[in-house]
Copies of this chain bind each other. A is one copy, B any other.
Amino acid sequence: MTIRTTGSRVPRPTMTDVAKAAGVSQTTVSFVLNNRTDVSIPHETRKRIHQAAADLGYRENVMAQALRLGKSKLIGLVTDEIATTPYAGLIIRGMQDAAWRYGRILTLVNTDCRADMEIKAVETLLKHQVDGLLFATMFHHEIALPPILGDMPVALVNCYSADASAPAVVPDEKQGGYDATCYLLERGHRDIGFLTKDESIPATRGRLAGYRRALAEADLPFRDDRVVAFTGDQEAGFRGAMTLMRQPDRPSALFCFNDRLAMGAYTALQTLGLRVPDDVSIIGFDNQEIIAAHLLPTLTTIQLPHYEMGRWGVDRLFSDIPAPAAHMLLTCPLVERNSVAPLKLSITA
């Protein structure tokens, strides 16, 4: 068995080595390997040079090019936690897919939400001469950009800066909340509870605004007692659903701020002997596959456009897509599964 060691490496073959092996000048090698078609070089010579390069294992040195052209072909990504959490990984996939299209790869630094780490991360990426910088956050919120960015192209994904000094893409939270509520209204529900999170962030504010707007458009009153807010996890969903379902005139449907709250609500309803969706319809938000696609019944929910936001960020760095007015809002589409049923009229109705 061979185990690779971490020892020093044999120097890589250079263009000069290829030139020597092929018996031509280094300039000729450069013309051929860089596919310069504006220079006339005999086919035979081209063939010999390619052969010599292959024999020597010559490999184009992107770092040398970077130094020459000022382009490293690296995109720097500064994230708080998305690379290491089970939540917004699709942002990275969207960025990677787009990066490939531009012949670039992603270099990643996680800051663990620490401001000192962020400065260090940005400095490190700038030293590596990245061609552009992306900032991405696990959940939609405002960030302060470090003051050392200079003229580096920057795009913000799932976050935004207060002074709008860099283009930003975020989910359209209000549209998502509106569409979720309308979906329930269209199925006859007139009394819809909103289980949310007790924190003022763009997602809670936007989704609540969408919920209220949908109710208003349907000429339904907004009732304070129908909005329950604890933390954002399953336990809070359990507690919140218990609170709403024990009200004497309980709502016929619940809009949950996220899928984790919906999962807790399922358990609460089961505990109370109520069935989803026959007795109570539930709609979630986020589309966290591991929960939403596998609850019993599967959960109808609103998807966050993580992939699309990641792709937009890279496109914004390298193409001429128009700069948005302030933030670019991406639509949160509805994912239809089995947790919503049309309202059944009760005997006393």
Chain A positions near chain B (C-beta within 8 angstroms): 1-6, 9-12, 57, 59-64, 66-67, 70, 72-74, 83-87, 89-90, 92-93, 96, 105-110, 123-129, 132, 150-154, 163-167, 233-235, 238, 260, 263-264, 267, 270, 288-291, 294-296, 316-320, 323, 326
Contacts and interface: CB of A to CB of B under 8 A. Distances in A.
B110 A93 contact: yes
A58 to B, nearest CB: 11
A64 B72 CA distance: 11
Contact of A127 (B57, B59, B318): B59
B59 A164 contact: no
Contact of A84 (B63, B90, B110): B90
Nearest to A107: B107
Interface-centre pick from A84, A296, A318, A319 (highest chain B CB count, 10 A)? A84
A67 B67 contact: yes
B89 A105 contact: no
A243 to B, nearest CB: 16
10 contacts: A4-B151, A6-B320, A61-B67, A83-B96, A84-B89, A105-B108, A105-B109, A233-B294, A260-B294, A288-B290
A6 B132 contact: yes
A63 B72 contact: yes
Contact of A128 (B63, B92, B166, B326): B63
Nearest to A316: B6
B70 A11 contact: yes
Nearest to A294: B234
Contacts of A84: 89-90, 92-93, 96
Nearest to A62: B127
Contacts of A85: 89
B63 A2 contact: no
A87 B108 CA distance: 18
Nearest to A296: B267
Contacts of A165: 1-2, 4
A279 B214 CA distance: 45
A170 B1 CA distance: 18
Contact of A63 (B6, B67, B154): B67
A60 to B, nearest CB: 6
A83 B57 CA distance: 30
A105 B152 CA distance: 19
Contacts of A105: 107-109, 124-125, 128
Given A4-B154, A166-B4, A64 B62 contact: no
Contact of A86 (B10, B60, B66, B290): B290
A83 B74 contact: no
Nearest to A133: B4
B151 A9 contact: yes
Nearest to A233: B294
Contact of A64 (B67, B92, B295): B67
